[in-house]
């Protein structure tokens, strides 16, 4: 059993939990995920690793309530436990392939939407630990839906955007991206985008305009976390990839987002076919 050592509410229907899982904490890397199961009759739910502490033996996950299984997770409390907490799974962020010298020469932008902020955090934190302070755009419909802003400000330069103008830039993240580049003189060598599929599509189109290499996380497509169900298939550069085992991060300029969104919607309204879409994923719940 994997004990929940702390729980806090980040925003309406969004919960953070620290879970005691020493082996996972020791091996985890930014960009990876775990599969959790509440009990014997529970579904296998993939959740992005949002933070990990090898010394404390804890792994942090964030779950947004989108259906029965994620609601069941979010009703657990401190002292309760998961039956299964398997991982780490998936490929770590490709940033980990770069040397410290290469990292310090890079100007890196992260774009996070909704609960996508949580899985961006371990990457920004890892960069900060290696002497790199990236820029991070966090977008939400309104300021009350922001998560991980304080944590992110401790490791990166943070820019906020809200659809309703209640905090930061008034408008979409794509508008803020253009403002930073066109009006504030920012230049970027690479970008990582994590959030709702439609946001990633248009943010990736924006970076393509500026010729900025871009990675996106397709964790929202994952279901069983092993590739066996086939629900996570996605076309990348005309080739079929399995998000669970070959991702979750892919070249954002090569992903067929329209196909990915159609696949995502196929399962959204049929809980009998699959477990719910991965929301923290850290999306994932």
Residue 132 neighbours by CB under 8 Å, 6+ apart: 103, 104, 106, 108
Torsion-angle region of 236 (φ positive above 0: left; ψ -120 to 50: alpha; else: beta):
beta
Contacting residues for 228 by C-beta, under 8 A, at least 6 apart: none
172 has a pLDDT exceeding 90: yes
Residue 72 pLDDT greater than 60, yes or no: yes
- pLDDT at position 279 is 39
The continuous run of DSSP H or E covering 176 comes out as helix 173-178
Q: What percent of the chain has pLDDT over 90?
A: 53
User: How much is the pLDDT for 273?
Assistant: 40
Please say if the pLDDT value at position 280 is more than 70: no
Contacts of 113 (CB under 8 A, 6+ apart): 138, 139, 140, 173, 194, 195, 196, 199, 200, 203
CA 208 vs CA 105, 218, 231: distances in Å: 21, 18, 27
- What's the CATH number for 94-268? 3.40.50.80
Range 143-161 average pLDDT:
93
pLDDT tens track for 89-123: 888 998 998 888 899 899 999 999 988 898 899 99
Task: Break the chain into its structural domains and give their ranges.
Answer: 2-89, 94-268
Residues 6+ apart with CB under 8 A from 75: none
State pTM to two decimals: 0.85
The pair of three-digit structure tokens given for residue 119, joined into one six-digit string: 């899985």
The answer to whether residue 86 scores a pLDDT higher than 70 is yes
Is residue 17's pLDDT more than 70? Answer: yes
Q: What is the pLDDT of residue 221?
A: 60
Average pLDDT on 146-175 reads: 94
pLDDT surpassing 90 at residue 22: yes
Domain range 2-89, CATH class: mainly beta
Q: What is the pLDDT of residues 177-234, one digit of tens each?
A: 999 999 999 999 999 999 988 999 999 999 999 999 999 988 766 665 555 666 667 8
d(CA 187, CA 200): 20
Residue 28 clears pLDDT 60, i.e. is over it:
yes
């Amino acid at each position: 059993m994997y004990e929940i050592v702390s729980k806090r509410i980040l925003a309406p229907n969004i919960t953070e939990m620290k879970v005691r899982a020493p082996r996972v904490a020791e091996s985890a890397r930014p960009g990876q995920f775990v599969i959790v199961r509440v009990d014997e009759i529970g579904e296998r739910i993939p959740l992005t690793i949002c933070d990990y502490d090898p010394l404390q033996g804890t792994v942090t996950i964030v779950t947004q309530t989108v259906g029965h299984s994620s609601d069941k997770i979010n009703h657990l409390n401190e002292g309760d436990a998961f039956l299964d907490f398997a991982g780490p799974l998936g490929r770590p962020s490709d940033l980990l392939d770069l040397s410290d010298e290469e990292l310090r020469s890079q100007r890196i932008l992260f774009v996070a939407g909704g609960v996508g902020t949580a899985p961006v955090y371990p990457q920004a934190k890892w960069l900060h630990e290696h002497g790199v302070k990236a820029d991070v755009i966090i977008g939400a419909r309104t300021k009350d839906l922001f998560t991980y802003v304080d944590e992110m400000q401790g490791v990166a330069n943070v820019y906020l955007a809200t659809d309703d103008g209640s905090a930061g830039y008034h408008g979409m993240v794509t508008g803020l991206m253009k403002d930073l580049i066109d009006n504030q003189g920012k230049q970027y060598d690479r970008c990582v985008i994590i959030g709702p599929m439609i946001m990633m599509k248009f943010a990736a189109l924006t970076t393509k305009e500026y010729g900025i290499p871009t990675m996106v996380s397709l964790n929202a497509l994952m279901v069983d976390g092993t590739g066996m169900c086939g629900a996570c298939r996605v076309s990348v550069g005309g080739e079929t990839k399995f998000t669970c085992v070959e991702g979750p991060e892919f070249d954002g300029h090569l992903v067929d987002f329209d196909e990915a969104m159609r696949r995502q919607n196929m399962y959204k309204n049929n809980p009998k076919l699959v477990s719910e879409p991965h929301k923290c994923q850290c999306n994932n719940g």
